[in-house]
């Protein structure tokens, strides 16, 4: 089968649609199909595929003022007339490109399939309805997108719903709260500055000094309780400060 794939953007432009276009093209080439890519932005053309050379139409500058996507679709439509007739035009976009490509494909008797990768805008409903009418088929990435197509008058019997490619079981595996590692909460500006300087013995001495200061201990207790409650950590305010104070003093004296 000869396929003309139309996508405004291809890799390395970022986005899921762009990766989808590249992967689908590779898969179809691997199964013996001929694929020609029409695109405006990006450079990636899988080995074995052709890139459609586009030229501006007389209307391109005017259309580009409103939408460069619309101008792009007009250029594809004009080039389509001179192209070796494909068996299928596969558009990855929405009603904007379909407004131009739909009539062009109907005039040439070429089936046009539209894949919509995201929710369709609720603006310009009349324009969207006219643009989406009478296409050969629709592929909706997700059930919400399929509902949008039906809302805009697309024939439900011609809509196929495809997965976005996410492994939902993998998402479920991470649905719960992450396991937390128990630790110690300390809070002191001088100790933090010492820690940043990289001196372990000075840090131990600074922390021990903080724990020897009653006001500092009270301040650290308040901060520690609030932080530890969220993190599930034991805080120096919870009756263990004396143990840590002695350990820090011992560490400081050994260094």
Instruction: Look at phi and psi of residue 42 and say left if phi exceeds 0, alpha if psi is from -120 to 50, else beta.
Output: left
Do 74 and 105 lie in a common domain?
Answer: yes
CATH number, domain of 84, equals 3.40.50.2000
Do 157 and 194 lie in a common domain?
Answer: no
More confident residue, 225 or 112: 112
> Where in the sequence is the domain holding 219, given as residue range(s)?
189-254
Does 12 sit behind a cis peptide bond, omega within 30 degrees of 0 on the bond before it? Answer: yes
Is 7 strand, coil or helix?
strand
Which helix (H) or strand (E) covers residue 216, if one does?
Answer: helix 214-231
Q: What is the mean pLDDT of residues 132-140?
A: 94
Whether residue 243 lies inside any domain: the answer is yes
Do 16 and 124 lie in a common domain?
Answer: yes
Of 86-90, 191-195, 227-231, the poorest mean pLDDT is in 191-195
Query: Strand order of the sheet with strand 88-92?
Result: 50-51, 34-38, 2-7, 88-92, 112-116, 137-141, 159-162
Q: Could you tell me what percent of the chain has a pLDDT over 70?
A: 64
Angle (deg, nearest 10), helices 241-254 and 200-212: 140
Do 110 and 194 lie in a common domain?
Answer: no
Of 23-32, 53-62, 152-161, 225-234, the poorest mean pLDDT is in 225-234
Predicted local confidence at residue 237, as pLDDT: 43
pLDDT in tens, 203-239: 555 555 655 666 666 666 666 666 656 655 555 444 4
Closest alpha carbon to 240 in 253, 254, 228: 228
Do 159 and 196 lie in a common domain?
Answer: no
Do 120 and 8 lie in a common domain?
Answer: yes
Do 69 and 122 lie in a common domain?
Answer: yes
Is 190 strand, coil or helix?
helix
Predicted local confidence at residue 59, as pLDDT: 86
Is 51 strand, coil or helix?
strand
More confident residue, 251 or 235: 251
Beta strand 137-141 with 2-7: parallel, antiparallel or unpaired?
unpaired
pLDDT in tens, 113-127: 999 999 998 888 999
Whether residue 182 lies inside any domain: the answer is no
Residue owning tokens 């997965």: 163
Do 74 and 127 lie in a common domain?
Answer: yes
Confidence of residue 255 (pLDDT cuts 50, 70, 90): very low
Pair 8, 41: CB distance under 8 Å: yes
Whether residue 183 lies inside any domain: the answer is no
The mean pLDDT of the chain is: 81
Predicted local confidence at residue 122, as pLDDT: 84
Whether residue 179 lies inside any domain: the answer is no
Whether residue 46 lies inside any domain: the answer is yes
Of 42-56, 97-111, 152-166, the poorest mean pLDDT is in 152-166
CA gap 18, 10 in Å, rounded? 5
Closest alpha carbon to 125 in 153, 97, 165, 85: 153
Number of compact structural domains in the chain: 2
């Amino acid at each position: 089968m000869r396929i003309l794939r139309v996508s405004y953007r291809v890799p390395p432009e970022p986005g899921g649609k762009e990766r989808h276009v590249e992967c689908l093209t590779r898969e179809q080439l691997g199964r013996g199909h001929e694929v020609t890519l029409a695109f405006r932005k990006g450079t990636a053309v899988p080995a074995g595929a052709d890139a459609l050379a586009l030229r501006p139409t007389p209307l391109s500058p005017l259309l580009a003022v409103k939408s460069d996507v619309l101008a792009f679709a007009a250029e594809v439509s004009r080039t389509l007339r001179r192209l070796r007739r494909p068996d299928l035009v596969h558009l990855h976009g929405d009603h904007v490109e379909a407004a131009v490509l739909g009539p062009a494909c109907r005039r040439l008797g070429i089936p046009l399939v539209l894949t919509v990768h995201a929710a369709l805008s609720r603006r310009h409903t009349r324009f969207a309805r006219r643009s989406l009418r009478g296409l050969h088929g629709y592929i909706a990435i997700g059930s919400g997108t399929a509902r949008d197509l039906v809302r805009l008058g697309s024939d439900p019997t011609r809509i196929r719903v495809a997965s976005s490619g996410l492994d939902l079981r993998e998402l479920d595996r991470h649905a719960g709260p992450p396991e937390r590692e128990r630790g110690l909460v300390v809070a002191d500006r001088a100790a933090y500055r010492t820690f940043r300087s990289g001196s372990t013995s000075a840090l131990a001495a600074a922390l021990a000094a903080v724990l020897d200061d009653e006001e500092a201990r009270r301040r650290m207790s308040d901060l520690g309780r609030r932080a530890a409650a969220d993190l599930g950590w034991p805080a120096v305010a919870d009756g263990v400060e004396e143990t840590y104070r002695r350990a820090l003093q011992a560490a400081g004296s050994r260094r």
